[in-house]
């Protein structure tokens, strides 16, 4: 009788435990049960905000002879539509590479070709070979903006929703409102909206594919995740900022597998197969692949450009890197410092792969690339900003702090593009959303600060506000025409360094047992 009672009690406890564990799935998937309610409102509102931002000017508007990123994207559509694939990356009489030559991987070229077909149907003059250079018209602008919005809706939006469901599946303490709050923060990321729908780019495609890859890995679809991340790499080479995190996390999981060699072999075949499929038009002869690779690595521009808030630009005030050192030495220095700064994060994920650790590794890896790699643009801050947004519910204060200075670091660029109104509007929208009643109340201290930390943060925020006002109202001295940009760069760089140290420490403090590894051990 005693054994029977214990067995019954144990069975009841197990049943209760299973019910409790399954509660997270109910909570996380509950946002799909009523699609006409808050979830649909979030999606429609995020799409509407993108449309409203797209009504404003874009990069290089009415600014000949080179215009800007808008003209670059339009020109790539013109080239891919009218020339054979073998000439897309080659300097010819019809394709002058000095005029916005293609400098992204082949998947971007294929995307440009698809969008060019759409423009050709409605406005053929906008993609006519050579004669369409500098084409600017209301219809052309509407169609170009529509290609970005449709890319966002088709790729980034579903990926963000899949991530939220995958990451919080199995968690019993996450409320439905918190999931919607997190999804809203990811979809209403001011930096991504301003760059893609204001400045004009297609970061939503590569970042969306990356988010989808993370979600696939979280639901144990590692091969699918590898395939999706390879697509992201072949859309924009800057996706390599995340490559160390993906490599170390998947390798760490392989070591925990019953047959690690088979697991690694499968992943390797998926990666090689995906690259071969995308690069097929350039594989033979090998000269074609080399032409593409040379376009993807513009070392001739120097180790930094403009006032980007990274190590090389910030320290150039004291050390004139470009003047004192050769290109080869700078390449070696950049590679070494980037690798050394990423190494702790890689080691942690190989030793103890986990979901949260993977996201921190993505943040640390991409931030290291931003701070130390060769030829970084101010827009590249979007890459570390993405994993920071994916950690928003776990690390709300870190995400808010990162967002403040990521936006501020791009402020001079957005000001030149005449995007001041959407910049301020989205900044205010982010603040309202961040402090809404549904946000997570973190008892661990991640969501609030006090004492000297609060004072320091307030001081930095006041400095950034003051610099905003100075930049808008005063003219810099003639002797130092870029003084204000340099001040903004130095302030943002200091905060990015602090955030890099903080996030690396957080990753190493994570428990060694987490996620699917625990479940397998219990089973």
DSSP-assigned letters across all residues of 167-190: HHTT-SS--HHHHHHHHHHHHT-H
Q: Does residue 14 form part of some domain?
A: no
Which residue matches tokens 């403040």? 404
Q: Per-residue pLDDT for 441 more than 90?
A: no
Rounded distance, CA 364 to CA 347, Å?
A: 12
Q: Does residue 305 form part of some domain?
A: yes
- Say which residues have a Cβ less than 8 Å from residue 301's Cβ, sequence separation at least 6: 375
Q: What is the pLDDT of residues 68-84, one digit of tens each?
A: 999 999 999 999 999 99
| Segment 437-442 long-range contacts (CB within 8 Å, at least 24 positions apart) | 438/177, 438/178, 438/180, 438/181, 439/178, 439/181, 439/396, 440/178, 440/181, 440/393, 440/396, 442/396, 442/397
- Say which residues have a Cβ less than 8 Å from residue 51's Cβ, sequence separation at least 6: 145, 149, 197
Is pLDDT larger for residue 386 or for residue 297?
386
- Nearest CA-CA partner of 485 in 464, 466, 471, 469: 471
Q: pLDDT tier at 306 (50, 70, 90 boundaries)?
A: confident
Q: Does residue 358 form part of some domain?
A: yes
Q: Does residue 372 form part of some domain?
A: yes
Q: Does residue 141 form part of some domain?
A: yes
Rounded distance, CA 308 to CA 486, Å?
A: 9
Averaged pLDDT, 30-44: 73
Q: Per-residue pLDDT for 165 more than 90?
A: yes
Structural domain boundaries, residue 85:
69-436+449-518
Q: Does residue 456 form part of some domain?
A: yes
Predicted local confidence at residue 287, as pLDDT? 82
Q: What is the pLDDT of residues 490-507, one digit of tens each?
A: 999 999 999 999 999 999
Q: What percent of the chain has pLDDT over 90?
A: 72
CA dihedral 480, 485, 491, 495 (to 10 degrees): -150
Q: Does residue 59 form part of some domain?
A: no
Q: What is the pLDDT of residues 8-30, one digit of tens each?
A: 444 444 444 343 333 334 444 55
- Say which residues have a Cβ less than 8 Å from residue 130's Cβ, sequence separation at least 6: 94
Predicted local confidence at residue 446, as pLDDT? 55
Q: Does residue 428 form part of some domain?
A: yes
Number of domains in the chain: 1
- Nearest CA-CA partner of 68 in 239, 201, 206, 204: 201
């Amino acid at each position: 009788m005693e054994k029977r009672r214990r067995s019954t009690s144990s069975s009841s406890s197990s049943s209760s435990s299973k019910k409790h564990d399954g509660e997270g799935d109910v909570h996380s998937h509950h946002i799909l049960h009523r699609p006409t309610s808050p979830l649909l409102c979030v999606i429609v509102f995020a799409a509407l905000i993108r449309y409203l931002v797209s009504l404003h000017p874009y990069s290089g508007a009415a600014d000949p002879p080179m215009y800007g990123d808008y003209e670059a994207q339009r020109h790539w559509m013109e080239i891919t539509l009218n020339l054979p694939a073998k000439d897309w990356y080659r300097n010819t009489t019809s394709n002058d590479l000095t005029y916005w030559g293609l400098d992204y991987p082949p998947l971007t070229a294929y995307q440009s070709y698809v969008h060019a077909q759409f423009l050709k149907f409605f406005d053929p003059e906008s993609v006519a070979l050579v004669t369409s250079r500098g084409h600017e018209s209301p219809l052309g602008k509407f169609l170009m903006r529509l290609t970005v919005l449709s890319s966002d809706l088709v790729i980034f939006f579903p990926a963000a929703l899949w991530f939220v469901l995958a990451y919080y599946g199995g968690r019993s303490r996450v409320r439905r409102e918190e999931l919607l709050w997190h999804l809203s923060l990811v979809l209403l990321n001011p930096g991504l909206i301003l760059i893609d729908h204001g400045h004009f780019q297609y970061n939503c495609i590569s970042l969306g594919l990356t988010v989808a890859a993370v979600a696939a890995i979280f639901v144990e679809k590692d091969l699918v995740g590898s395939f999706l991340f390879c697509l992201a790499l072949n859309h924009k080479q800057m996706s390599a900022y995340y490559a160390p995190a993906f490599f170390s996390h998947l390798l760490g999981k392989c070591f925990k597998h019953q047959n690690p060699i088979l697991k690694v072999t499968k992943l390797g075949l998926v990666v090689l197969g995906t690259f071969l499929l995308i690069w097929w038009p350039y594989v033979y002869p090998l000269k074609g692949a080399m032409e593409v690779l040379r376009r993807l690595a513009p070392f001739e521009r120097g180790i930094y450009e403009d006032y980007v808030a990274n190590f090389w630009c910030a320290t150039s005030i004291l050390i004139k890197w470009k003047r004192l050192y050769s290109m080869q030495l700078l390449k070696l220095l950049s590679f070494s410092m980037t690798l050394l700064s990423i190494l702790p994060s890689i080691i942690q994920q190989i030793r103890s792969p986990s979901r949260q650790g993977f996201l921190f590794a993505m943040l640390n890896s991409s931030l290291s690339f931003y701070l130390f790699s060769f030829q970084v643009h101010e827009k590249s801050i979007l890459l570390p900003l993405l994993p920071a947004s994916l950690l928003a519910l776990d690390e709300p204060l870190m995400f808010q702090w990162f967002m403040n200075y990521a936006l501020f670091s791009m402020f001079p660029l957005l000001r030149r593009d005449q995007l001041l109104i959407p910049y301020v509007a989205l900044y205010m929208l982010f603040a309202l959303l961040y402090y809404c009643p549904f946000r997570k109340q973190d008892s661990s201290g991640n969501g609030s600060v006090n004492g000297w930390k609060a004072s320091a943060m307030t001081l930095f925020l006041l400095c950034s506000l003051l610099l905003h006002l100075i930049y808008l109202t005063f003219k810099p001295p003639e002797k130092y025409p870029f003084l204000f940009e340099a001040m903004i760069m130095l302030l943002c760089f200091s905060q990015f360094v602090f955030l890099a140290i903080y996030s690396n420490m957080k990753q190493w403090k994570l428990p060694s047992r987490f996620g699917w590894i625990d479940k397998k051990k219990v089973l």
